[in-house]
Amino acid sequence: TLNVSLRVSVCLRAGMCVSVLPTLSVRARRRMCVCPTRTEGDPRRKRDPLRGQRGTRGFEEIPHTGRNGWMNLVKFWRDDQFKVLHKHMEKTFNTLGPIYREHLGTQSTVNILLPCDISELFHSEGLHPRRMTLQPWATHREIRQHSKGVFLKNGAEWRADRLLLNKEVMMTSAVHCFLPLLDEVARDFCHLVGTRVEKEGQGQEGRRSLTIDPSPYLFRFALEASCHVLYGERIGLFTSSPSQESQKFIFAVERMLATTLPLLYLPPRLLWRVGAPLWKEHANAWDHIFSHAETRIQRGCQRLLSSQSRGVGGEEGVFTGVLGQLMDKGQLSLELIRANITELMAGGVDTTAVPLQFALYELGRNPAVQEHVRGQVQAAWARAGGDPHKALQGAPLLKGLVKETLRLYPVGITVQRYPVRDIVIQNYHIPAGTCVQACLYPLGRSQDVFQDPERFDPGRWGAQESGNGGRGGGFRSLAFGFGARQCVGRRIAENEMQLLLMHILLSFRLSVSSSEELDTKYTLILQPETPPSITFSTL
């Protein structure tokens, strides 16, 4: 805690800085410190005298959790804090206020949570935004001599590749192409669950109920849907005998994610050289991911070449998957296509399946919310005439449902940027090139940002609510990142989740046995401690 004799500066809404004794509570101080101060690029400020004048404080004065990164790392391991890193962040903000520094092993960050401060950060990200490099992933690519996709690139090379990928996965025209493919897989999911409910459930025929853990089906759905979009073909995970290789791929992704987190704070090349078991497990998981993706890419390439030789490829209006689109245009090398398709495939399973677990549970324990969303979905579906795009447009609560789920349970709990110029956040000087991260879990549950934050309310993201939140209010929802460096698979993931939730709500009523909040754990992504059981009742 801060020494009570320490004088601190707070920036009032008028932009004036005054010094006050920190006798106020942390929350009271937060409420006073809600607006970002001016950046160094502001002509009303002189660059040289920035520090120490008008109440602006130096970087070293930012509250911190301990200066020795290695000692902090040992404490984290000893107390098993990585598993609850999101809770640690929330607790630290409550103790130190809306900004703090943290040193863990080789990593050093400044952590923030208020939307106005996040706005200040993102407005200084520059033409080539940078986020924290997942060094274990980058090291694996370098050791295995794999090309890097856009997730691991920076600078002009990243921008050039990203602009080409955006045309196939982010633009509205691309979404219109792959939406029917996602819709097909979502329907198959509901058919599979419905068949099992009718066969194993209790109650009268046509009105049966069955309690299951849907997570295995959700993981199969996520992989099937993403592969359908990426390769333009189904991989058979909803058949009577799903591929064991695909199940192994899902397990490899889970192991890769779980081993990434502890490796982030250690030198991966050193661990590789000494043959550390943790590194071996991580590398083996990535090797399996690349091997599986390579098999599918080769199969897709052969199918496309065969179609072209028969004169049936490249027809206008025929969607051949993201792989086919990239190969047909020939603007990326085959090696770069492989790298990016593999990243999209690996990143499209857990990051979609896990939020769907949370969404189904929240719908089950909030029946009034469920009925409200279902009513809008049914009306939209009736008007759409079977067109999934029109149905989604007519049911904005589905989008709100996904945003609300990710507010409470963000897949990734931080979004990082390295500002390209010196900035001032919460009256502290932040030098250019500092790793600053917005912490999404405490942001989503902050009473300073959201009214009644514990309440699950998809309607809070409606038109009347979208402008709320004061200055920086547009930075309250960052689950997919922001700007040019936002998640490249965002449109696939958003539509994938919305379509599945739409078909589930059209087919089933959901309920759960407990209304308690789920315990969560962090393994590079936030997920339930134990997958929740859901009761599916046919409508």
| Residues tagged in the binding site annotation | 487
What is 433-470 written as a DSSP string?
Answer: T--EEEEHHHHHT-TTTSSSTTS--GGGGSHHHHT-SS
Q: What is the 3-state secondary structure (H, E, C) of 362-387?
A: HHHHCHHHHHHHHHHHHHHHHHHCCC
Q: Which phi and psi angles does 300 have, rounded to 5°? A: -65, -40
CB 401 within 8 A of CB 371: no
CA dist 278 and 262 (Å) reads: 9
**From the annotation, which residues make up the binding site for heme?**
487
By three-state DSSP, how is residue 414 classified? strand
Question: What tokens does 531 get?
Answer: 């997958």
Strand partners, 109: 102
Burial (CB < 10 A; 0-12, 13-18, 19+), residue 61, is middle
| Per-residue burial over 356-392, b = 16 or more CB atoms within 10 Å of its CB, e = otherwise | bbbbbbbbbbbeebbeebbebbeebbeebeeebbebb
- Count each helix (H run) and each strand (E run) in the chain, helices first: 20, 13
Between 367-384 and 490-507, two packed helices, what is the crossing angle to 10 degrees? 100
Nearest Cα neighbor of 318 from 331, 310, 309, 328 is: 328
Q: Are 196 and 288 in contact (CB under 8 A)?
A: no
List b or e across 480-490, with b for residues whose CB sees 16 or more CB atoms inside 10 angstroms.
bbbeebebbbe
Amino acid at 345: M
Cα distances (Å, whole numbers) of residue 294 to 30, 196, 232, 323, 334: 50, 34, 15, 12, 11
Helix (H, G, I), strand (E, B) or coil at 509: strand
Residues 6+ apart with CB under 8 A from 505: 363, 370, 373, 374, 377, 378
